Structures are given as structure tokens and as C-alpha cells.
Structure 1
Amino acid sequence: MSFVVKAVGILQQPANGVLLWNNTSVRNMATLKDISRRLKSVKSIQKITKSMKMVSAAKYAKAERELRAARSYGMSAKSFYDSLEVEKVEGPQKQVLIAATSDRGLCGAANSSIIKNIRAQLTDPKQNLEGTKVVAIGDKSRAGLARTHAANLLLSINEVGKRSLVFGDASAIAQQLISSGFEFDSAEIVYNKFKSAIAYTTSRQKILSNEAIANSKSIQVYDSTDADVLRSFQEFNLASVLYYAMKENATSEQSSRMTAMDNATKNAGELINKLTTYYNRTRQAVITTELIEIISGAAALEQKN
């Protein structure tokens, strides 16, 4: 005689006498298992983001202290380039765009804002793309620009942000740019200028070539300025501006990563609360369904007897 056992709501025996699992109960149990696994993974993610926030907070405090000392290098070189009187040259010019990004992500839009800024200039029809080259400082700028403007990449520099940036690193980058063989008329550093722990702005700093500085009316008033002196002065100014811009960008990166990890931790906490509530409701629904099946099976047996 064929029969159906609903006392536990799990087993069924059809006419062929083979026991099968109740699909409804198995589906509910799998749902609870999936929710539990998802809840566990979100809790692990929250621990990671909280730890990354604490690490970024410590790095941000150190980067902000170092930025105060680096501003004396950058402000003097910046004021020199801004106050220099240079005659405008008509026709296409050779230009270098220096993208000061980082090797790591998870810092909000700190890197993407620089990449979008440079990409917008490279895709501008008014710009002469053949005379514009890009120096990518950091893996993020190299990866972001290599897909669309690989022909414009002149230099790619990485592993700069593994340790605290020093002036020697900026000097080495400046030396590589000068010795690259590309004679540029002007250059611009695209970086994030630090404003506060929650704000930064994508800025540009113009750099002039050695020839442009030599032909400036402001430099010609000095008598003892030969070619070697001007070249040494231009190399030092380039290294100083690079050091300042990279320090500004490093501080902005750490503050942005700290904010991003804080938001990720809060979002994970909200998701944990929602998943916990959903897990409890689903568990209660499974228990209620099983109780109903037990009661229905017992009532059916009483009526049959």
C-alpha cells in the first residue's frame, strides 16, 4: 500500500515505494544556508574594511604631517612658474601630461578623477594628440589610459607609494622625464590637491621647458644665467613641483580611502542587519511550515483511523 508520511514534513513515498526528500523543505533549508553563508561573508568584509579604515587613518595622519613640510618645496617652484612671463608660441606644441596617481585602488574617485581629466583632454578634437605624451605615475593611471591612449604613453612609473615618498623619488622621476629624449615645450601635472579629510580637488600645475625659461623676459634680466645654470635650475624646479604634487595626491588618496572604507563599513553593518532580519523571518517561516505539516499529518491520521 502506498502512503505519504507528513509527520516530519521531509520524506515522501510514492507508489513505486522509493523515498524522496520533500522539495519544499529542501528549498527552505538551502535558502537558510545561503543566507547564513552570505551573512558570514558580509561580516568578514566588514572586519576587513574596518581594519583598512584604521590603517588608512594612521597613514593619513602621517601623510598630512609630511605634506606641511613638502609645501615649502612646491609653493616656491609653483610661484616661479606662475609669475614667469613667457611669450605665446603659435602653432602645435609638444606637451607632456603627468598623471600623479597611485598603485592601489579602493580610494573612491581619487584615481579615476585624474584619469578622466587627462582622457578628456586627449579626446578633445582641438588638441594635437601627436604632440601630447603622458607620463603615468602609478599603475592606476597606466591601466586606465593604456586601453584608449596607449600611443600617447611616454613613461610608466610604479611602486612609488609602497613607502613614504621622499624628494629623491621625485628627482628620479624628473631625471627620467628629462632623459627620455622627448623635447617638450610645456608640461602639466594632474593631481589631487588636498583640502580637508573629506575633500580634495583635481588640479593642474604647469611646468615650462628649459628653452621657454631661457627665452623668458624675467630670466633675461639676470647676467650670470648660462645654459648649465638654467638646466640645473629647471631640473630642481621640476623635481620640487613633482614632490609637492605627489605629496598632495598621497594625502588626498589616504583621506579618500579612509572615507571610502568608513562608508563601506557602515554599508556592511546595514546589510548585516537586513540579512539577520531576513534570516530570522525565513527561519520562522520554515518552522511554521513544518509545524503546519505535522499538525495536518496528525489530523489526517486521526480521521483515517
Structure 2
Amino acid sequence: MFISHKIALFGVASVLSAAHVLSAVAQEARTVSNPPTYILEPITKSRAKLETFAQNRAPFPGEVLLDMNVTYLDRQIYNPATARYDRVRLRGYQDARQTGPSGADTPLVGPTIDVRPGETVRITLNNMLPQDSTCGIGGGSANTPHCFNGTNLHSHGLWVNPSGNGDNVLVSIRPGVEFQYEYNIPADHPAGTFWYHPHLHGSTALQVSSGMSGALIIRGDRMPTPTETGDIDRLLKQPDGSDIAERVLVLQQIQYACTDSNGSITYDCQPGQVGGIESYDQFGPGSWPASGRFTSINGQVLGQLAPAVAGSVERWRMTHAGVRDTINFEIRR
């Protein structure tokens, strides 16, 4: 299946011909695969091994630990306007233990966080971005964009404590500072697809548009009762009881730009230039369609989903993690 922000999937006005679509796909297949999933390490008295954790945590939900860096990432993004990859340097999330993929070809999308009801999730966020002069105390008007290298973490949609070191959007993590969040997932938390992203006033859109977002999945297996609903995960099974195939699709608008010879912002990045997002000047109303950028899916622009088996059933978990565009979803024969 072909995926495009400007063709069928998102239904905007600029429509290309089918021949053009097939030609673009034939040039280079950019497979849209699920984002990497963080391994959540169990914290138990015996420090149980990771390979046995999946078996142990079902009957005995406990604590899981995630160590995540916020840092600049050197990546590349396909640009359909020039049929080449643009080099970019953008803020992003990185596994602090560096067990996940890295390098220019690594897609710009946050890893999936996968948990279960009843677990306590501890996320240590390490802000490894450079010092930012606009992050000072009393740094001007609260309504003036500032502190682009300050950050925090917001779990979008969870039923958890919004104060202290819970899901507190008022926490400000300055460059060089680390902070541990604690999400106590209630035992009766509904299963579902949620997401996470930074939510610091003054830098939210700039960081989210850099690719700082990812899926957060809560898996449940509760049966319904006469007074309570059960989890939909119970229904989405194969006849033999095994899980059906699942795709996690995170949709983003990464609005990077370069500068021209006059120092002005331009979306026409030339070979050798490195695109970035360092100013809200490139975020004004109407700037997204004017930029010519495409919505990415799991970090891929104009990508292709891996083949599906005819007659099979799949579960698609879709998260719109963009900042500027709306999404219309279509599947066409």
C-alpha cells in the first residue's frame, strides 16, 4: 500500500496521477515499519532477567524503568520535491542505554512505550541539549517563545497523577538536568493507544515538529462483567487465541528548513546544507502547505507499508502527532 500526505491517504487538494504514484514508489521503496519498542526493564527484588519478564509481569505487575535522552539527532528525510534525502539535525529522543538503532537512516520517530495496567512506569528524562540563554529565570514574557532547549514529558490521555513527578506539564527540565517521572497506571486503566510528547510552554510545537513524539500502548486482558466493560484487546484475537498482526503508525509534520545566502529561512535545502528547526518564524499560519513538506508516517515520507496477507485481520494503531495539518484517512483500491 502506498502512503502519501498529498495523494490518497490524507486527501489534500494536490493530487498526483496514479502513474506518477507508481513511478515514485518504483524509484525507491521506503518501508513503513513499526517504530522500535523500548525494552522496559523490570525492577524487582530479584532483578529478574529481561527474557523472563514477559511471563512474570502478567500475573505480578510491578515497576518498569525507562532511561531516555533528549539530544540532537543527525538524520535524513526524503524530500519528494527534489527526489533526494535532506540532511537534518533535530531534537529527538534516544535510548540512554543506546540499545536501539542509530545513524542517519534511523527514522525520526519516538520509540513505542508498551505497558500494562497496574504497572508503575518510571521514566528518567536526561536533557542533553546545549545550554540555552533564553532558559534563564525570568526570561521575558511567558507568551514569547523561549527556552527551545528546555523540555518535559506529557503522556497524552493517560489516567495518571498530573502533579509532582507525575504527568506534570508544568515541570521544566533545563539543559543538563535529569528528572524522573512516575506514572502509576491504575489496575483498571482501559487498554488503548495513547502517545507522549514534550509539553513545555514556549517550546512544545518546535520540539514536536522535530519528531519528538511516540506511541504509548496500554495492553489489557480484562473480561467484561455485569457492571464493568472489558478490554478490546480480548476481542482482537485469532481463532486460536493468539494476537492479530498489529501496525503502529505515528503521523508527524516535521517542518525543517535551511537558510539562503541572505540568511533568510528557506524550505529549499541545497545539497550540503543541514535542515533544522530553530525558530518559530517557520511555523506561522499557512507555513505548512507553503513549505511543500509531506506528513511522515513512522519517520518515512511517501513510504510503503509492508505487505499484508489477503483475507487476514490487522489492528492499526494510529497517532496524529503533528502540529499543523489535519488528517483525512482513506484506503483506495
Q: Give the TM-score normalised by structure 2.
A: 0.24
Larger Rg: 1
Q: Give the TM-score normalised by structure 1.
A: 0.25
More RCO (CA 8 Å, sep 6+): 1
Q: Give the number of the structure whose residues are more often helix, by fraction.
A: 1
